[in-house]
Amino acid sequence: MIGIIDYGLGNIRAFANIYHELDLPYRFVTGSEDFDQLSHIILPGVGSFDSAMEALERNDLCDALHTAVFETEIPILGVCVGMQVMAKASEEGEKEGLGWFDTKVIKIDSTKSAPTPHMGWNKVRQMKSVSLFEGINQDSEFYFLHSYAFQTDCDGVVALASYSHDIGVVLQKKNIVGIQCHPEKSHSAGTKVLENFAKLY
């Protein structure tokens, strides 16, 4: 059973529609009591780093996520801000993140040819072969909407995108996976990512 975290941020219905089309079972998770029998977790996110952390705290989800990820070792996929909160902190806000990646999210350099937010379609360059991208061509395009990102030297970076500079857009460390772009908005390539994630472990 795939659990889609419903904490008021992210287009959870888009994820649900894709898993419905793939005929894979899912349910929305609103509190710690909903984690029973989950095999995978999706942590979506739209908006700011601090608002995401505040929403997780308000819904008492931080401890439940830590337990699921580190004790039960359930695979988790953080999307956009849902990925960024896996860091220790962000230049965007004041709050501490979940701290699963030992790094700080930084603001993307803005230029005339590459303004922020980074919005629209961009190629994703796979640096390592990972099962999340099985069956997806190198340099496939995905949809992005963000102004902050992981640095390329962050431990766990497996794919990059080039904008004003290279940014880390896919991270993986054991059962913890993050993707900066929006697979739920990225047509067939994004659907394949979500299908592959559901097969992890």
pLDDT of residue 112: 86
Catalytic (active site) residue 80: yes
Compute the Cα dihedral for 174, 178, 183, 188 and give only its sign.
negative
Q: How far is it between the farthest Cα atoms of the chain?
A: 49
Query: Within the chain, which residues score under 50 in pLDDT?
Result: none
Domain ranges for the chain:
2-199
CATH topology of domain 2-199: Rossmann fold (3.40.50)
| DSSP label at residue 32 | G
Q: Is there a catalytic annotation at residue 182?
A: yes
Cβ contact 200:175 at 8 Å: yes
Instruction: Please give the Cα distance from 142 to 87 (Å, whole number).
Output: 22
Sheet holding 166-173, edge to edge: 26-29, 2-5, 40-43, 76-79, 176-179, 166-173, 157-162, 125-126
Catalytic, out of 80, 92, 118, 181: 80
pTM equals 0.96
Point out the catalytic residue in the list 146, 154, 181, 184.
184
Q: What is the pLDDT of residue 62?
A: 96
- Cα(116)–Cα(171) distance, integer angstroms: 22
pLDDT at 25: 97
Summarised one tens digit per residue, pLDDT across range 67-101 is: 999 999 999 999 999 999 999 999 999 999 999 99
Neighbouring CB atoms inside 10 A of 5's CB total 29
d(CA 121, CA 155): 25
Start-to-end CA span in the chain (Å): 13
Question: Tell me, what's the pLDDT at 201?
Answer: 82
**Which of the following is catalytic: 92, 146, 182, 187?**
182
